[in-house]
Amino acid sequence: MKNSQRCPKCDCIHIIHYIENDVIPIGFFSKAWVTKYICSECGYIESWIASKEELANLTNYYGVGRPVTRLSELLNDQE
């Protein structure tokens, strides 16, 4: 949806670009902002990290291929 401006589920073109305080922590002092694209027809949501620098920092901090599914896992890794 970010690139095509169409919903991949229902092909709707009415997409909401939503930015709020949704972040993924990267250590204690850094974070990556999550941008959401929401289909106004079916409710499908895509989430993106908009900044290439933040995406690189996430990759360096958490690694590739390691599933992190809960905030508690993210926070426990920081201890």
pTM over 0.95: no
Q: What pLDDT, on a 0 to 100 scale, did the predictor assign at position 61? A: 85
What sign for the dihedral angle of Cα 68, 10, 48, 64? positive
pLDDT tens for the 79 residues of the chain, in order: 888 999 999 999 999 998 877 888 888 888 899 999 999 999 999 999 888 999 898 888 887 776 666 555 555 655 4
Helix runs in the chain, H state only? 52-62, 71-77
Q: Rounded distance, CA 5 to CA 16, Å?
A: 10
Contact 46, 2 (CB under 8 A): yes
* Residues in Cβ contact with 44 at an 8 Å cutoff, skipping those fewer than 6 apart: 1, 7, 8, 9, 10, 38
Number of H helices, E strands in the chain: 2, 3
Domain boundaries, the chain: 15-77
